[in-house]
Structure 1
Amino acid sequence: MKKSIRTMGQRMNNIRIKKKLIISFILVVFVPVLIVGIFLTVAFRQNVLDQATQQITNNVERIKKQTLDIIRMPIEISDKLLVDSRLTNVVNTQYSSTFDVVKAFWDYRDFKDYIQLYSEIYNIRFYTTNMTILDNWEFLKVTDPIAETDWYKSAMERDGIHWEYIKDETKNNRRYLSLIRKITFPTYRTSGVLVIGVNQDELNAMISQEPFDTMIIDDNGYMIAAKNPEWVGKNISELDFASKLTNKAAGTYEFKYDGKPSKIVIEDLQPESSFNRLKIVSVFTIDSIVSGANRISLLGLGIILLSLVIAFVMIYIFSAIISKRMLVLNKDLNKVAMGDLNVISHVTGNDEIGILSKQFNNMVVSIRGLMDEVAESHKQQAQLQLRQKEIKLKMMASQINPHFLFNALESIRMKAHIKGETEISSIVRMLGKMIRRNLEIGARKIALKDELEMVRCYLEIQKFRYGNDRLTFRLDIDANGQEIEIPPLIIQPLIENAVVHGLENVAEGGFVWLKTEVSDHMLRVEVSDNGVGISDAKINEINESLHDMEEEEEYRIGLRNVHQRLVMIYGDGYGLTLTSELGAGTRITFEIPIGGHSLA
C-alpha cells in the first residue's frame, strides 16, 4: 500500500502543473460538486416536503388548540350545571299546574344567559324524565325515540362527557357537535341528560383558513367541520380514502388521494373529562408541495453543470500561468504569518507575481517600522499618563475654595466692632491654625487626627458665624483610627458642603454629624446634615459631575476634587457615595483601605 502511494506520488511529481491543476479540478471540484449538487437537490426536495409536513402538523396542532378553546366553554358550563342547585330544583319539582312550570322556567334563565354570553355555545337543552314538566326547547321530556338513540343510551350508561355529531330537534333536526353529559340528582334519585351544542360557525371559520383539505371527525366518523363545506355532515366512509383511516393512530402517513401520492396527518383530540375523542385530519398531495422544488432543483443542477464547464475551461486556460514563483512567494507569506518579519522575497519579474513580491517586501519593512513606532508610542504615552496623573493630583489638592475664610474674617470683624467678647480670640486662633495648616499641606499624606482638627476648627468658626441656634455639630471619632494616614483636605470639603449647601436655607436647628469607623482594615467616613436635602434628579446630576474633569459649576468643585482624588489614589472602587431626601438632609460617605497605596 505504501509502495503504491509512493509510486503515485512520483508520477504526480512528473506531471506538469497545468495538467495537475486540470486533474485536481476534476477530482477535487467537478466530481464533488456534481455529487453535492445531486445530493442537495434531493435533500432540498425532501426538506421542502418535510417543512410542508411540519407546517401541516403545526397547523393541525393549532387547530387542536383552537378547537379545545372552543369546546372548553361547554365543558366549564356543564361542570357548573352539574352542581347547580337551582337546576336541580327546576328539574325535580313535581308541578301541579302549568302556571308553576312557566314560573319556574321564567325564574331559571341560565341557559339563555350562557348562549348570549358565549359565542361558542349554539344551544343548551336538558332531557328529563319528569313528566310534569313542559317542553320549552330548553327542558325536554325523554320520549321513546329519544331514549332509543345511541347518544342517549351512551350518556345514561356511564358518567362523564362524550361528544357526538347529533340532530337537534329544537333546530329543525340540524346536526351539531354536542357535549352530552349525564347529570345525576342523588337527593331525588333521578337523572337527566345535558346537551350543549357547539356553534358550527366557529368551527367552520377556523377550518376554512387552512391551505389543505382539513376536517374534524367525531367518534362515529362524521365530519363536524371541513375545509370543503360539502363534506360537513358526511361520514368519512363516503370519501375514497376512508379505508386508509381505519384504526389509524395519530401520526403522518403516505397514501394515494385522487390517484396522486399524498400525505395525511392525523391528530387525536381528547377533551377534558371526556371518555371519547375527536380526530383532526389534514390531507395534501406531494406534487402540490414539491413541484416548485423540482423546478428549482433542475435549474440549480443546470447552473451547477454550466458553472463547472466554464470553470474547467478557465482552469485549462490559466493553469499555464501558475508557476513555481507563486509557491515560493506563498512560503514567504507563511513565514510572516508565523511571526518572522526578517523574510525577504527573492521572486523577481514585472508581472503581477513580481509586483506582488515587491509589495510584500515593502509591507514587511513597513510592519517592522510600525511595530517600532507603536512600541515607542506606548512608552511615551505611559510616561505622559503618569505625568498627567501627578499634575491632576496636585491641581485638585490646590482647588479648595477659600471663600469661607474671608466670610469668617468679615464676621469676626463685624462682631468685634459691635461687641468685644473674649471668644473672638479663640475664633481668630482657630482661623489662623486653619490658614497655617492649609499653607503647610503638600502632596504627602497626613494623620487622620490632623485632618479632624482642621474639621473641628472649621465647624467652630462656622458655628461662631451662624450662632448656636442655627448650627450645632457632633464628632463621633473612632479612637483606633487617629494615626491612620489619609490624603490631606479630604474630609473638610465634605463638611464645608454640608454647612454651605445643606444648611443654606435652614434658619435654626442645623446639625452636622461626622463619624469615622475602623473595621476590617478599612476606614469609613460619614458626613451627614439635617438640611434641605437634594432631589433624585439633582443627585444624579451631581453623581455625573463627580466624574467630569471640566465641570464649571463652582459649588461642586470640592466634592468633585475629593471624589477624583480618592479614585486616582485608591482606584475606581473608591469614591464618594451620596444619599439624600428632600427635607430630611444629605449623607456623604466613603471608604478607603488602611495603608493603601496610590495607583498613579
Structure 2
Amino acid sequence: MKNIRHLSIFRRLSQFSIRRQLFIVYLPVIFLSTVAIGLFLVFDSTRQLTANYQHLAELNAQRVKSVLFDTTNTLNNTASSLSNDTHLRQFLTTNYETDISAIADIANYDQLDEIKKLQTSIANITIYTTNRSIPNYTYFQQVDDATRETVWYQKALVQPDAFLMTLPEESNANRLHLYKSLPLPLSTETAVLDIQIDYNYLSNRLRNSSYELELQLNDDPIFYSDKISQVGEIGQLTNLANTQPTTFFLNSNQNKILLTKSTLMMNNKEDVITIYAADTKAYSNLQANLIRWSTIVLVILIATFMIVYLFARFFTKRISQLQQAVYFAAIEDYDFFQNISGEDEISQISLDFHKIIQRIKTNEEEIYRSRLTQQELLNQQQQMEFNILAGQINPHFLFNTLETIRMMALTSGNSDVVYAIKLLAKSMRYTLEAHGTQLTSLEESLDAVHVYVKIQRMRFGNRVNFSYSVSNEINQKDMQILPLLVQPLVENAISHGLEGLTYPGFVRLTITKEEHDVLIVVQDNGTGITPEKLELLQRKIAIPSTHAKKNIGLANVNHRVKMFYGPDYGLTIESIFGSGTQVILRIHDLTIDKAVSD
C-alpha cells in the first residue's frame, strides 16, 4: 500500500513540467531548511553573544578587583612601612618644649612627602596623636574630643591590623580611608594613621566607557561611582543586585542592563569591597543582533526563491540529460558523457569531479603508505644510532683496564683486584642497563661518571684529577636525561684533553640551570686544540652519528640531543690552544614539562 501511495505521488508530480516540479519539491525544502537554519543561527548567535557579554562583564569585574587589590595592597604596605619607621616613632614619643622645635623636626621628616609624591593613589595622609607637644601641622593632627568619639578612632585603638572605612567629606561624598594604629612601645602616647584614597586616581584607573561602576565597602553607602553625584548614597546598581553574579535587570529608566556583582576580600579578612558593574549597551546590541540575523534570513529566503526560479527557467531543458549523466556516473560508465549532445558542461564537471576524487583517494593512500614507511625507517635509524652509542665501549679502554687489574694482582693484594673488578662491573652494568632505556636520572649518570673516573685514576694515578658541582636548583634524583650523555663528555676530556700532559691534569664538571634549560659543562686544563682542528672537529660533530667516523661519542651525543630535545639544543666546543678545552651541552629540563602536565 505504501509503495502504491508513493507511486501515486510521483505520477502526479510527473504530470507537471520540470519547472513546476522544482517549485513544488525544492522550494518547500529550501524554505524550511533556510528558516530552520536561520532560527538556529539567531538563537545560537544570541546565546553566544549573551555569553560573551557576560564573560566580558566578569573580565571587567576582575580588572576592577585587580586595580582595587593593587591600591589597597599599596596602602597596607605604606601603613606597615610607617609602623616600622623608628624615626617617626621617636618623633611621636618625644616631648617637645616648644612648638618651634616640634615643627623643625616635622620639616626635617620628609618620609610622608616622599610617600605622597610616589603613591599617586593617596589623596591625604594624617597622623592623629595624643602627644600635646606636637602641634597641628602638615600631616600631624592632635586628637581632640570629637576625634576620640569617632568609630574609626575607637576601632583603631583596639585593633592592631589596618582596616578600611568610608567617611563623608565636606561635599557629603563618601571617601575610602585606611586606618592603622601606630605602635609606640614604652610610651603612654597613642597615634593613629589615616590614609585617604584619591578618588581621581580610582576614576582614572577604573573608568570604562562600556560599563557603569559602583563600589561599596561592607554595607556602607557606595564610595565610588562613575556618576560622582551618587557617591555616599545607596547606588542604583546596588538596589538591583541579587544573588545571581551576572544577569539582566531593568534600571530606573526601564532599560535592561547587564549587571555583574563581585566581591574582593581585604587582607584583614573583615572588610569586603563589593563591585557592581553594569553594561548598558549589551541588551540593545543583542536586539540589534536579532534584527540583523532575522533580516539576513529574510534576504536569503527571497534570494533562494529568485535563484530557484531562474534555475528552473534556464535549466529545464537540460535536467533530463543531467539526471542521466548522474546515473551513469554513479555506475562509473564514463563513456556516456561523450554521447551528451552539445557536450554539456554540467555532465563534464560531474565526470571530472569523479575522476579527481578517485585520484585524490589513490594519492592519499600512497602518501599514507609512504609516511608509514618513512617513519618506520626513521625509528629504525634512531634505534640503530642508540645501539651504536650504547655499544661504544672502547676496546682499548677494556684492554688497559684488564691490564691494570693484572698488574695490580702482581704487585698488591686481592683487595685492590676486587676493587678494580667492582668498578669495571659497575661501568659495564650501567652501559648495559642504559641500553634500551629512553631516560635515566641525573644521579645515575653521575654515578657512572664517578666509576669511570676511579678506573682512570687506577691507570694514571694523580695525573687525572676530577671534580664536579651541581646547582642547588637541580634535584639529581628527579631530573631525567638521556642515558650516556655525561660520561662521553668526561671520557673525551680525559682521553683527548689530558692526552700527552706531563703535569697533573684536571677535569671539571659543572651542571647548572638557565631558565628552562640545563647546561652541562666539562672543562680540562689540557693543551687545547688549534683553531684549524677545532673547526674540523665541530664539523664532524655536526654530522649525524651514522656518517661520522671519528669522535663518534661527541657526534652521537650531539645528534641524540637534537633528535630528542629539538634543534635548539646540542653540543658546542670552545678551546684555546695551550689553555684547555671546554665542552658545553645544553638540554631541556624535562622536570618543568612534567610539573606543567601534572
TM-score class, shorter: 0.5 to 0.7
Counterpart residue number, 2:266: 271
Counterpart residue number, 1:70: 71
Inter-CA distance 95–539: structure 2 relative to 1 (3 Å threshold) = same
Instruction: Tell me the TM-score normalised to structure 1 length.
Output: 0.54
C-alpha distance in 2 between matches for 1:358 and 1:40: 33
Inter-CA distance 228–332: structure 2 relative to 1 (3 Å threshold) = same
1:74 CA displacement: 0.9
1:77 CA displacement: 0.9
Asked if the contact 2:93/2:131 (under 8 Å) is kept, the reply is yes
C-alpha distance in 2 between matches for 1:361 and 1:36: 32
Counterpart residue number, 1:56: 57
Within 5 A, what are the aligned runs for 1:296-311?
A: 296-311=292-307
1:118 CA displacement: 1.9
C-alpha distance in 1 between matches for 2:283 and 2:249: 13
**Paired residue type of 1:351:** G
Deviations 1:79-135 (A, max 9, x none): 223333333333334444435533543454322221122222222212233334322
Q: 2:252 aligns with which of 233, 238, 257?
A: 257
Q: Percent same amino acid among aligned pairs?
A: 15
Inter-CA distance 28–118: structure 2 relative to 1 (3 Å threshold) = same
Q: Greater shift after overlay, 528-537 or 264-273?
A: 528-537
Instruction: Tell me the TM-score normalised to structure 2 length.
Output: 0.54
**Paired residue type of 1:259:** Q
Counterpart residue number, 1:293: 289
Counterpart residue number, 2:523: none
| Unaligned runs of at least 5 residues, structure 2 | 367-500, 502-525, 553-558, 561-570, 583-598
C-alpha distance in 1 between matches for 2:286 and 2:270: 40
SS state at 1:236 partner: coil
1:300 CA displacement: 1.1
C-alpha distance in 1 between matches for 2:188 and 2:111: 23
**Paired residue type of 2:575:** E
Counterpart residue number, 2:474: none
Counterpart residue number, 1:125: 126
1:41 CA displacement: 2.5
Within 5 A, what are the aligned runs for 1:170-569?
A: 176-185=175-184, 187-188=186-187, 191-231=190-230, 233-237=231-235, 239=236, 243-245=239-241, 250-273=245-268, 275-285=270-280, 286-314=282-310, 316-317=312-313, 320-321=316-317, 323=319, 325-334=321-330, 344-345=335-336, 348-353=339-344, 356=347, 360=351, 532-534=530-532
| Unaligned runs of at least 5 residues, structure 1 | 337-341, 376-508, 510-527, 548-560, 567-572, 588-600
SS state at 1:351 partner: coil
Q: Greater shift after overlay, 114-123 or 346-355?
A: 346-355
Q: How many residue pairs end up in the alignment?
A: 398
C-alpha distance in 2 between matches for 1:8 and 1:357: 36
SS state at 1:224 partner: strand
Asked if the contact 2:321/2:340 (under 8 Å) is kept, the reply is no
C-alpha distance in 2 between matches for 1:362 and 1:97: 104
Deviations 1:152-194 (A, max 9, x none): 344345443332332579xx99863221223444544664322
Deviations 1:19-61 (A, max 9, x none): 6654542453210211221332243344434433332332232
Asked if the contact 1:123/1:197 (under 8 Å) is kept, the reply is yes
Inter-CA distance 152–361: structure 2 relative to 1 (3 Å threshold) = closer
Q: Greater shift after overlay, 71-80 or 270-279?
A: 270-279
SS state at 2:126 partner: strand
Deviations 1:293-352 (A, max 9, x none): 24423431331221232134245435744656545543554566xxxxx96447722134
C-alpha distance in 1 between matches for 2:276 and 2:349: 73
C-alpha distance in 2 between matches for 1:9 and 1:39: 32
C-alpha distance in 2 between matches for 1:531 and 1:88: 67
**Paired residue type of 1:264:** L
| Residue 547 (structure 2) pairs with residue 583 (structure 1) | no
Inter-CA distance 252–109: structure 2 relative to 1 (3 Å threshold) = farther
For the aligned residue pairs, the C-alpha RMSD in angstroms reads 4.7
Inter-CA distance 344–352: structure 2 relative to 1 (3 Å threshold) = closer
Asked if the contact 1:219/1:277 (under 8 Å) is kept, the reply is yes
Counterpart residue number, 2:145: 144
C-alpha distance in 2 between matches for 1:357 and 1:331: 13
1:267 CA displacement: 2.0
1:76 CA displacement: 0.8
**Paired residue type of 1:303:** V
C-alpha distance in 1 between matches for 2:215 and 2:67: 12
**Paired residue type of 1:282:** A
Inter-CA distance 540–30: structure 2 relative to 1 (3 Å threshold) = farther
Inter-CA distance 562–41: structure 2 relative to 1 (3 Å threshold) = closer
C-alpha distance in 1 between matches for 2:137 and 2:245: 42
1:225 CA displacement: 3.3
SS state at 1:165 partner: strand
Deviations 1:381-437 (A, max 9, x none): xxxxxxxxxxxxxxxxxxxxxxxxxxxxxxxxxxxxxxxxxxxxxxxxxxxxxxxxx
1:360 CA displacement: 4.4
Counterpart residue number, 2:591: none
C-alpha distance in 1 between matches for 2:96 and 2:330: 105
SS state at 1:140 partner: strand
C-alpha distance in 1 between matches for 2:205 and 2:574: 60
SS state at 2:531 partner: coil
C-alpha distance in 1 between matches for 2:117 and 2:335: 92
Q: Greater shift after overlay, 531-540 or 175-184?
A: 531-540
| Residue 103 (structure 2) pairs with residue 112 (structure 1) | no
C-alpha distance in 1 between matches for 2:140 and 2:349: 102
1:62 CA displacement: 1.4
SS state at 2:61 partner: helix
Q: Greater shift after overlay, 56-65 or 316-325?
A: 316-325
C-alpha distance in 1 between matches for 2:180 and 2:351: 89
Inter-CA distance 150–243: structure 2 relative to 1 (3 Å threshold) = same
Asked if the contact 2:166/2:220 (under 8 Å) is kept, the reply is no
